[in-house]
Amino acid sequence: MKLLFICHLTQNALDDTVRAMRYLGRELALRGHEVEYFFRRPHDSEEEPEPISLLEWPMRIAPLASRKCQQKQYDIVLATGSSGWCLSSFRDWLLPPETRVVSWHLHDDPAIGKSVDDIPEPAATLPTPSLPRESLLQQLNAWTVEQALKTQDGCFLTGLEDVHHIRRKYPQYASKAMYQPRGVDAKFYSPQRLKQKATPPSKLLLIGNNHTENPIGTPVVEAFLQILKTHPQVTLTVAGDHQLPPPDELFADFPEPVKPALNCVRVQQEETLPELYLQHDVFIQPHSTPAQPLAVLEAMASAMPAVVVQNPDFQEVVTHYESGLLVPPNNPQAIVESVTHLLENPTLCQSMGEAAFETVTRCYTWHQVCDIFEVNLTRIAGQALA
């Protein structure tokens, strides 16, 4: 198959979408498929530029992608939400008739405008402008999702909840919603940690994602303050990419006396992540996310026990009290109890890390998850050529 990945971010962005595209593309290329990428060009500054908005795609990017597709005759184009919607909605003009369009992460598309001020007067099929701002954006997003499902040949989702939601809400397009788990690259595996003697853990790590302005949140603040009362040696590191707020803003909700126990790490390159995991003892992700973050799998690959929110996406990979601990959403006390239990039981912490390592090495390498990806792509391409 000839495949083209299209994304509104640059190829070196730390966004999970870009990284997953690169890893899956690499695996497909190793299997003999022809894979190319169409990423946004790098900016002059070191920081990742803002995503291109939904309304910019038809004018600036779609024509360039269309020209590339006309020249190469790809079997399948995989594009992030809004870009895929543009290409599929105008496919008669933009794409060869044999080319199939598949949406990538249709559910959470950061390219959809952040402000209603950028949205033009809607047509009859769009939401009415008299609605509140949040409602207008929600309905615009819902309308875009429905149009994408209607015009595209498939939709890859990395969250089980999103797959179930799409299938329930749009039963006529249920077969187009496909679950695509994420994987872990070999550089994140840390078997050396398994050989170390169990020592009392003290360093907590939370990695933010681009779906929240501040990845900490009130439950984590309340929980960490309680943990410090009984375990003053504990530290919390919050890491993220260029979108991570500065330390004074990130830790604004913490009282001044505890701020020496807080660390902020802005990750510039993916290659620095493995060492970051090795420098910490317990990974926490007590927030619900639009999909399963790569950070959870990568932390588990480094033999860290994970304290994560109890939802289908995390329950798919974390077995409670075996490879990590599951906590109810928005429950500071549950976070306190889970983290404290690990802090006070080094042997348990180590055994959970071992189980986490074993889980991801057995089921979540990129080679393994690409098997699912390749089967679905082959099915879509076969339908196109039938």
Q: What is the mean pLDDT of the chain?
A: 84
How far is the C-alpha of 39 from the C-alpha of 54, rounded, in Å?
Answer: 15
Contact status, residue 357 vs residue 191, Cβ threshold 8 Å: yes
Q: What is the pLDDT of residues 361-371, one digit of tens each?
A: 999 999 999 99
Going by pLDDT thresholds of 50, 70 and 90, the confidence category of residue 23 is very high
Q: Which is more confidently placed, 219 or 63? A: 219
How large a percentage of the chain has pLDDT more than 70? 83
Q: What is the pLDDT of residues 216-269, one digit of tens each?
A: 999 999 999 999 999 999 999 999 988 899 999 999 999 999 999 999 999 989
Q: What is the pLDDT of residues 189-212, one digit of tens each?
A: 998 888 888 889 999 999 986 555
pLDDT of residue 69: 87
Going by pLDDT thresholds of 50, 70 and 90, the confidence category of residue 137 is low
Identify the three-state secondary structure at position 10: strand
Going by pLDDT thresholds of 50, 70 and 90, the confidence category of residue 327 is very high
Its sign, for the CA torsion 25, 26, 31, 33, is positive
* Residue pointed to by tokens 């701020």: 259
β-sheet with 34-40: strand ranges across: 34-40, 2-10, 76-80, 100-104, 154-157, 177-179
Q: Which is more confidently placed, 379 or 72? A: 379
Q: State the helix-helix crossing angle for 133-151 and 81-89, rounded to 10 degrees.
A: 50
How far is the C-alpha of 329 from the C-alpha of 136, rounded, in Å?
Answer: 27
Question: Does residue 59 come out as left (phi exceeding 0), alpha (psi in the -120 to 50 range) or beta?
Answer: alpha
- Here the tokens at position 107 are 């559910």
Q: What is the pLDDT of residues 245-256, one digit of tens each?
A: 999 999 999 999
**Residue 174: what residue type?**
A
- The distance of Cα 152 from the centroid of its chain, to the nearest Å, equals 22
How are beta strands 34-40 and 2-10 bridged, if at all?
parallel
What's the full length of the chain, in residues? Answer: 386
Identify the three-state secondary structure at position 56: coil
Q: What is the pLDDT of residues 276-293, one digit of tens each?
A: 999 999 999 988 776 678
Alpha carbons within 13 angstroms on the beta-carbon side of residue 59 total 5
Contact status, residue 60 vs residue 52, Cβ threshold 8 Å: yes
Q: What is the pLDDT of residues 156-197, one digit of tens each?
A: 988 888 888 889 989 999 999 999 999 999 999 998 888 888
Its sign, for the CA torsion 101, 107, 110, 115, is positive
Its sign, for the CA torsion 13, 18, 24, 29, is negative
pLDDT of residue 385: 45
Contact status, residue 16 vs residue 356, Cβ threshold 8 Å: no
How large a percentage of the chain has pLDDT more than 90? 56
Contact status, residue 250 vs residue 244, Cβ threshold 8 Å: yes
pLDDT of residue 339: 97
pLDDT of residue 106: 54
Q: What domains, with CATH codes, occur in the chain? A: 2-183+366-385 (3.40.50.2000), 186-363 (3.40.50.2000)
Q: Is the pLDDT of residue 116 over 50?
A: no
Residues facing residue 307 across a β-bridge: 284, 325
**214 phi, psi to nearest 5 deg:** -125, 115
Q: Which is more confidently placed, 88 or 56? A: 88
